[in-house]
Structure 1
């Protein structure tokens, strides 16, 4: 599918993005979808929306092709809670270009914005109490791991310039996945925008790749300190355990769908602009040709990297501890074509944007050895990706 598309210069795709478009840049390609040709139907109300989703997507792609829409690709986002509706559609038009992430890019300038209101939900102190609740559940044997998050509700003095924010994220996010997509809650429309470091899964032909990240440290501006933190991360029993739980779950989810699977013995470290993470690249050959990238994503999402383990118990505990609805945060965003190829990204380092307000999200993995103040600091560091791209002076946010 990708090879058949019109090839354009990637910066033109960024320049052409408008609010309501679908955009994603990955290490391999950039995709811009405009308009709506056909929506993917939702499942029955109050039912698991993942049941039958792959079939509904395949049916829509087939129908679009039969109607002469030859460049049919489904794009969009799936929420964390599978009982909430996904926002998936076939764009009216699709443009695909090679990624220019590795090219030298000029710094995209943007004026600083003024924050009228900024609220942490939960508050820092209540977040630490929530982490303690998570630790207690782990030590009681109920859970192996839980990921607990918080949101920052930001109100600005003027409407958000989403095209500029997306451009800033793309220029700063040199090795990850920058995205924007229209989302909807009932009749409320918004934009999901972010720069995730984590590939959930991709499929090309008969081969699949997953790249779980778990175990983190904030990145320093001092290279020597970064080296120390990287060595600490690679030898930390707490972080290695947290990472192993995620890798084990990803392998378990993929194994029934793969003929072969390759798993490195030890994780490596990947860097983002603000963080460093333990990373494992898992590769395999599909068992059957009709297994799509979306099938693979549904089999994996949510991983313990964004939820916990065991999955359903962790998900229930999250609803009891976190005082807000995650929405599309820690869901997945991406695309799938008629051949089944596609890429699905873990929706983190992101925000929901509408008018002059945004809701940012960040989470941290909690295991028995976790310390509440360290998990709080980790969420604060993860907020920096969006805050910097927005031009917000982060010095004023030290206590958030």
Structure 2
């Protein structure tokens, strides 16, 4: 499957049609789906095992789809933070790939207005979230775990139902370099977002990942201040430690399944519209040609960038401190084809839309010297991605 511009321009401009199915944009390969051949809600607990029940079930579904005339079936959708929960995956009846630049050039010069916001509520509020962070810091300083990722939500109620096609247009326009996704949900509504973080991309035997951990707010009105913020982040002991925990864990996880693996010892800086991030470009080659994009993504998920380290203790602390169930937030979203190729990104800078109700999500990595007020501000900056799309920055 080679990325080509398979839509006429008129098709690309019909965002309502694009958002009837699964939409995923990437600088590597973008696609949109039509129809649903079968849904797969089975939890992905053993999907990293090549001979596990999930992978066997997936091979059977792909084989059945081919018998029904679907030439190159793909699996698309979202996987929750807690892999013991049901997945939101399906095999579409058909799909098409396209060039992301063509989609972005088809954006209307004047974007549709979104409905007025009637109410927005922080979950938890400032006092509870900062106390959560303080409790986590105290636990980490006690020696276990080394890091935990804590998150918060923003609940929004609008005057009228939100048109997700209009919302995703704004998200793409305001965050052109992110990975964009629109995932229809079984219970209605959609998961929409602009993730900056690649979990796993696989083409043939080659794979890559680019974890992010450690962030700093950008200064768009001052180039010198903006550069200084990035430089400060690169030399921050706290952020470099947080990032090192992630890359060390990913190296240890990937090494046994890799014939070749490259994990740089020094991170690089990347930017989004609102943040600087520490990033590490990981590249490798699988040992077993039966590996697929989903098996590797589930091997890694959730990384310490999403849960903490060690994972089991961090997840226990998350369940203890966070006053909500993350569900699909903090999970992964993407696709995998029957040849094993695919791409999965981290489900952050995102929200769910159900009519006039919108729920946004953001998290921050907590280590021993984290400051509660600083983590509140960092999650606020991350929420800006979606708040700006609603005109609520």
Task: Give the structure 2 partner of residue 83 of structure 1.
Answer: 84
SS of corresponding position for 1:245:
helix
Mapping 1:307-318, distance limit 5 Å: 307-318=307-318
Q: Structure 2 unaligned runs (5+)? A: none
CA distance in 2, matches of 1:238, 1:229: 14
Task: Give the structure 1 partner of residue 125 of structure 2.
Answer: 123
Pairwise CA distance, 1:53: 2.4
CA distance in 1, matches of 2:26, 2:88: 20
Pairwise CA distance, 1:107: 5.1
Give the conservation status (yes or no) of the 8 Å contact 1:49–1:83. no
CA distance in 2, matches of 1:254, 1:131: 30
Give the conservation status (yes or no) of the 8 Å contact 2:41–2:86. no
CA distance in 1, matches of 2:69, 2:347: 32
Pairwise CA distance, 1:382: 0.4
CA distance in 2, matches of 1:117, 1:390: 13
Q: Deviations over 1:260-294 (max 9, x none)?
A: 10112211111111111000000001111110000
Alpha-carbon distance change, 14 to 252 in structure 1, aligned in 2, over 3 angstroms: farther
SS of corresponding position for 1:61:
helix
Alpha-carbon distance change, 313 to 89 in structure 1, aligned in 2, over 3 angstroms: same
CA distance in 1, matches of 2:64, 2:5: 22
Alpha-carbon distance change, 281 to 17 in structure 1, aligned in 2, over 3 angstroms: farther
Give the conservation status (yes or no) of the 8 Å contact 1:17–1:32. no
Task: Give the structure 2 partner of residue 397 of structure 1.
Answer: none
Structure 1 vs Structure 2 CA RMSD: 2.0
Mapping 1:96-245, distance limit 5 Å: 96-100=97-101, 108-111=110-113, 113-184=115-186, 188-221=187-220, 222-245=222-245
TM-score by length of 1: 0.92
TM-score by length of 2: 0.93
Pairwise CA distance, 1:255: 1.2
SS of corresponding position for 1:100:
helix
Q: Deviations over 1:186-208 (max 9, x none)?
A: xx333100000000000001100
Alpha-carbon distance change, 323 to 209 in structure 1, aligned in 2, over 3 angstroms: same
Pairwise CA distance, 1:182: 1.5
Give the conservation status (yes or no) of the 8 Å contact 1:148–1:322. yes
Task: Give the structure 1 partner of residue 357 of structure 2.
Answer: 357
Q: Structure 1 unaligned runs (5+)? A: 395-400
Alpha-carbon distance change, 129 to 270 in structure 1, aligned in 2, over 3 angstroms: same
Mapping 1:328-367, distance limit 5 Å: 328-367=328-367
